[in-house]
Amino acid sequence: MILPIVGYGHPTLRKVAEPIDSNYPNIKQLVADMFETMYGADGVGLAAPQVDLPIQVIVIGVPIFNEETKEYNDTLEEHVMINPEILEAKGKEQYYNEGCLSLPGIHEDVLRPEGIVVRYLDTDFQEHTEEIHGMYARIAQHEIDHLNGKVFTDRLSPLRKAMVKRKLGDVSSGKVKTAYKMKATK
């Protein structure tokens, strides 16, 4: 089931999300719905607060570049993280142009470490600690920010923040049209 996505200005995007445990009802269905919502909106990641659920669940779809065909694979490499925690940054900080389904029409270069060590639970509530890099690490960091009530524009310089302020206002007042279903800001 495709879930409506909340936009910038919605209070759930600013909440610190709660960790969950194996008592959470039907986590696998929620994760399936989150992937369906992500694909339906042509995204590469989605955090539960973006579908108005302030819990620590993220889904990620990493585009994989095929060195032989010199094209991206047709399918994304799927990952799910529950209660993720970044333990360490790895490698250099790099800029990458980010967008967000909750901030339609806004794309900005964001500085983040190239890799991270992350600890998380899978959908069977088994713990994993992994060192990840590249696009996977980039998307994971963006989605983990959502669990801390942050969006990518919070990481911009004061000047760039000032420059996107009007666009953010247009999103929160519901002026920006999207091809996917959004939930009105409360």
Closest approach, Cβ 146 to Zn ion, in A, equals 6
Longest Cα separation, the chain: 48
Cβ neighbors of 68 (< 8 A, separation 6 or more) are none
Closest approach, Cβ 11 to Zn ion, in A, equals 16
Cβ atoms of residues 155 and 177 within 8 Å: no
Q: Which residue has the tokens 């998380």?
A: 120
| Residues across the chain | 186
Residue number, nearest CB to Zn ion: 100
**Phi (first) and psi of residue 125, to 5 degrees:** 65, 35
Q: How far apart are the first and last CA of the chain?
A: 22
User: Which CB sits closer to Zn ion, 82 or 110?
Assistant: 110
Which part of the chain contacts Zn ion (CB under 5 A), choosing from 2-10, 96-104, 166-174, 177-185? 96-104
User: Which CB sits closer to Zn ion, 125 or 180?
Assistant: 180
Q: Cα–Cα distance between 73 and 101 in angstroms, integer?
A: 22
Which part of the chain contacts Zn ion (CB under 5 A), choosing from 6-14, 60-68, 77-85, 98-106? 98-106
Using CB under 5 A as the binding rule, the residues of this chain from 107 to 166 that contact Zn ion are none
The answer to whether 18 is a known catalytic residue is: no
Which part of the chain contacts Zn ion (CB under 5 A), choosing from 60-68, 77-85, 93-101, 117-125? 93-101
Q: Give the type of residue at 34.
A: M
Closest approach, Cβ 67 to Zn ion, in A, equals 28
Residue 100 found at the interface with Zn ion (CB under 5 A): yes
Catalytic residue, chosen from 77, 98, 108, 143, is 143
**Tokens standing for residue 152:** 């990518």
Q: What does the binding site for Zn ion look like in residue numbers (CB under 5 A)?
A: 100
Q: Catalytic amino acids?
A: 143
